[in-house]
Structure 1
Amino acid sequence: MTRQGAGTMGNSKQLLVVKLGGSSASSSDLSRWVRALDQASIPMVVVPGGGPFANTVRRYQPKLGFDDRAAHEMAILGMEQFGLALISLSTRMVSARNRGEIEAAIEAGDIPVWLPRDVALSAPEIAQDWSVTSDSLAAWLASRLTAKHLCLIKQIDVPEGADVEALIGAKIVDDGFADYLGPTSSVHVAGPGDLSSAGIRLAEGKVPGHVLQRHAAALAAAV
């Protein structure tokens, strides 16, 4: 097992934020992605998707009639549920609710899994509706931590040369994603085709997948 050295947290020049899509919960790839992430040699934060937990909220909202604000909080709780599952599958992941806990985990050589409820619901700039999902929250966290890289792990392979706007248009990321991107983080996307090499790349301090292009519109939205 490879561990980043103590004292590296705050080195945002190397920090990697990884959003692990909740759709992986129903895939046999999930345990393999967790093992790959456990091999990371650079400081890393994992943002869990909502997966089946958030999908349950979507399914029952029209039946029960609760509003988008309630649905947003419930979906964030779904992210926390998936995050707890990831922690139980990992040898290195630990829960972290705020920047201080993220920093402490990385200082200890662990991989913090961000449980976003407390911070995300108290941030006035984060819309509390379905325009913001775990993708946007991962982008927001990467911006807040001035992370060097943001990697989105998806259950589909995105072609090289794709840009952020194309992923928004294809509903691969949510509509608000570009609004929450910071100007300094490079955005990577990784899919099933990248899984076999992901552990090796992470152990070498590299990011799985390939870089998404960020056009002027996305950069302008991030500033």
Structure 2
Amino acid sequence: MPSNSAPLVVKLGGSLHGAPALADWIAALKRYPRAMAITPGGGPFADAVRAAQPLIGYDERTAHAMAVLAMEQYALALANRDDALQLAASPGAIEEAQTNGRIALWRPSGMVAAAEDIRPSWDVTSDSLAAWLAKKTGARALLLIKSVDVPDGASMSEIVRKNIVDPALPDYLDGTPLFVAGPSSLPRAGARLAEGALPGAAIAIFPTRKSA
């Protein structure tokens, strides 16, 4: 199991792109005293890829590549907001940002294009890509920041069924501890992160067996 000294991977949901909570979440994340990498969502940029697909007629592989580029657009926008976020497109660049005391903001297109274990499908969104990065970097945990809340102890099957995360996430998580933080977690998120703790609900990877 990864130690507390291992980096934390955070997926910052694209659904927050126009919300006041975005600035508050970034401020909270900056209080984390250890190494961190942020995976950006696709936000409105990925929505544009989805909307254009039936009109132009490109296939799933092309749509996936375009959606990953949409994540990069969101990353560029986030980096422009705050100098604490350092764009990073490779494992070396991620480590360099973290060594310099900055938050690595992942530009995923190069690493994703070179990966043979990532399926080019709409089922594989930034949630799964964040899980893939967490595994590649030996992260202590994956924190998904969403615009909705989930109860503590919710199961993976439950959050997949409710479309809170993408259906491929269980395949890419591969044992990394998972937390999902929504609006109710934000007020105390900064304090928890400053202590090295994680906000949000801890997700039970396997459903709890009910007694007969």
Match of 2:180 among 173, 181, 189: 189
State whether residues 12 and 147 of structure 1, in contact with CA within 8 Å, keep that contact through their aligned partners in structure 2. no
Task: Report the CA distance between 1:13 and its aligned residue.
Answer: 4.2
Match of 1:168 among 157, 160, 171: 160
Q: Where does residue 5 of structure 1 map in the other structure?
A: none
Q: What is the CA–CA distance in structure 2 between the aligned matches of 1:164 and 1:96, rounded to whole Å?
A: 29
Q: Within the alignment, does 1:24 sit opposite 2:22 as a pair?
A: no
Helix, strand or coil: the match of 1:161?
coil
Q: Within the alignment, does 1:63 sit opposite 2:58 as a pair?
A: no
Q: What is the CA–CA distance in structure 1 between the aligned matches of 2:185 and 2:4, rounded to whole Å?
A: 24
Q: What is the CA–CA distance in structure 2 between the aligned matches of 1:12 and 1:182, rounded to whole Å?
A: 18
State whether residues 38 and 90 of structure 1, in contact with CA within 8 Å, keep that contact through their aligned partners in structure 2. no
The answer for unaligned runs of 5 or more in structure 1 is 1-9, 217-223
Q: What is the CA–CA distance in structure 2 between the aligned matches of 1:200 and 1:131, rounded to whole Å?
A: 34
Q: Within the alignment, does 1:40 sit opposite 2:21 as a pair?
A: no
Describe the superposition over 1:113-170 as per-residue Cα deviations: whole angstroms up to 9, x where unpaired: 1110000111011001211100000011111111111000000011122111111111
Paired residues for 1:72-221 under 5 Å: 72-183=64-175, 185-215=176-206
State whether residues 15 and 148 of structure 1, in contact with CA within 8 Å, keep that contact through their aligned partners in structure 2. yes
Letter in 2 for 1:192: P
State whether residues 150 and 186 of structure 1, in contact with CA within 8 Å, keep that contact through their aligned partners in structure 2. yes
Letter in 1 for 2:205: R
Q: Where does residue 210 of structure 2 map in the other structure?
A: none
Describe the superposition over 1:39-82 as per-residue Cα deviations: whole angstroms up to 9, x where unpaired: 11111110000011000000110011111111101100110111
Letter in 1 for 2:119: A
TM-score if structure 2 supplies the norm length? 0.93
Letter in 2 for 1:42: R
State whether residues 19 and 48 of structure 1, in contact with CA within 8 Å, keep that contact through their aligned partners in structure 2. yes
State whether residues 153 and 191 of structure 1, in contact with CA within 8 Å, keep that contact through their aligned partners in structure 2. yes
Q: How many residues align?
A: 207
Task: Report the CA distance between 1:11 and its aligned residue.
Answer: 7.2
Helix, strand or coil: the match of 2:105?
strand
State whether residues 149 and 186 of structure 1, in contact with CA within 8 Å, keep that contact through their aligned partners in structure 2. yes
Q: CA RMSD in A?
A: 1.7
Letter in 2 for 1:80: E
Q: What is the CA–CA distance in structure 2 between the aligned matches of 1:72 and 1:56, rounded to whole Å?
A: 12
The answer for unaligned runs of 5 or more in structure 2 is 208-212
State whether residues 90 and 111 of structure 2, in contact with CA within 8 Å, keep that contact through their aligned partners in structure 1. yes
Calculate percent identity across the aligned residue pairs. Answer: 44
Task: Report the CA distance between 1:12 and its aligned residue.
Answer: 7.2
State whether residues 60 and 120 of structure 2, in contact with CA within 8 Å, keep that contact through their aligned partners in structure 1. yes
Q: What is the CA–CA distance in structure 2 between the aligned matches of 1:159 and 1:60, rounded to whole Å?
A: 35
State whether residues 179 and 202 of structure 2, in contact with CA within 8 Å, keep that contact through their aligned partners in structure 1. yes
Describe the superposition over 1:14-41 as per-residue Cα deviations: whole angstroms up to 9, x where unpaired: 3110000000002121111111111111
